[in-house]
Amino acid sequence: MENEATGALRVSQLDASELDHEIVQLTKSQISQLFKYHQSTFLAHFDPEIQAGIKLLLWKFALFDRDATVGQQILGIHYGKGKGTNLGAPITGREKVLYGLLVVLFPWLKERISTLLTYIGLSQWDTQVHFWLQQVETVWKAAALVNLLVFLKKGVYLSLVERILGIRSQFPQRQGLRQGNIRRVLTRELLWHGFAEFLFFLLPLINFQRIKNSFKRWLGGQKLTSQGHLKSRTRADLMTCAVCEEWPVMPREIGCRHVFCYYCISANLSADPNFSCPQCGHPVVSQSNIQVVKSHINPGQAHT
């Protein structure tokens, strides 16, 4: 039947618009990857042309050929004409061309107007042209805001371009009742969204480093013995950080025989004021107890 088409939902129209925008940005990012190691300003210089070219291709192979943008095709809607119950009429070729001019050509002209004026020898009009362009852009943005408020109320004509051309998003067939309990699905989604937001708020407040150090102290039950005294320090102690077990960078000591990287001991003490040597259990107590290692070893003689 000719009148089986129905107006698209507000959320479907908004999602389709976002998908179209993301597809353009994703395509631009893929093009940027091609020139990732190319030492030139080619992409920056021709950015308006690249963006216009991407939009032109999407317009040709989506809207012009199938009466729907890429985002609309993903969501199963398309552009059509008609009002009220008289929906389903396809958009004309003239409307498709005008849509392409408003969405592709005019934004490109706005970016390149100065270059075009210079090329045709009318650079003296550049200031006046830019002034009127700014006025037109201000009026357009104000009209787009009003149009958005009207769309939120009536659910028709998401963009100002659609309202000017008289085209609207439609479902090709009348939508039946959705299967399943939509309320249950939405409740579950809201629950998981709220839980995720709670975790994002909570996790930065938890000091995992302090918890890990406390657990190690409790599990190991390390106590300071004669093995931890400075007098029992060996050559191997000077060659290994007691925390990361790598060669100590800017070696420091805390009063026991073990040696630490400056970052390892300082970071752990900042995260856990009760931090102690993980090898012998010697407490750090305070930042002032972290001293430069008195004994040194030449890395070139480590294995001699």
Residue 59 counted as domain residue: yes
Q: Are residues 262 and 122 in the same domain?
A: no
Q: Are residues 44 and 107 in the same domain?
A: yes
Q: Are residues 127 and 267 in the same domain?
A: no
Q: Are residues 170 and 218 in the same domain?
A: no
Residue 273 counted as domain residue: yes
Q: Are residues 15 and 152 in the same domain?
A: yes
Q: Are residues 170 and 21 in the same domain?
A: yes
Q: Are residues 35 and 159 in the same domain?
A: yes
Q: Are residues 121 and 243 in the same domain?
A: no
Residue 189 counted as domain residue: no
Into how many domains does the chain fold? Answer: 2
- Residue 3 has a pLDDT of 52
Residue 194 counted as domain residue: no
**Per-10-residue mean pLDDT for the chain, 304 residues long?**
69 90 90 76 81 91 90 89 71 91 88 78 78 88 92 89 90 59 70 82 73 68 51 75 85 85 86 79 79 62 41
Q: Are residues 17 and 144 in the same domain?
A: yes
- For 244, the domain range is 212-301
Q: Are residues 168 and 27 in the same domain?
A: yes
Residue 195 counted as domain residue: no
Residue 287 counted as domain residue: yes
The CATH number of residue 227's host domain is 3.30.40.10
Q: Are residues 276 and 165 in the same domain?
A: no
SS3 assignment for the chain: CHHHCEECCHHHHHHHHHHHHHHHHHHHHHHHHHCCCCCCCHHHHCHHHHHHHHHHHHHHHHHHHHCCCHHHHHHCCEEEEEECCEEEECCCHHHHHHHHHHHHHHHHHHHHHHHHHHHCCCHHHHHHHHHHHHHHHHHHHHHHHHHHHHHHHHCCCCCHHHHHHCCEEEECCCCCCCCCCHHHHHHHHHHHHHHHHHHHHHHHHCCHHHHHHHHHHHHHCCCCCHHHCHHHCCHHHHHCECCCCCCCCCCEECCCCCEECHHHHHHHHHHCCCCECCCCCCECCCHHHCEECCCCCCHHHCCC
Domain boundary among 127, 156, 175: 175
Residue 272 counted as domain residue: yes
Q: What is the pTM of this model?
A: 0.54
Q: Are residues 157 and 222 in the same domain?
A: no
Residue 198 counted as domain residue: no
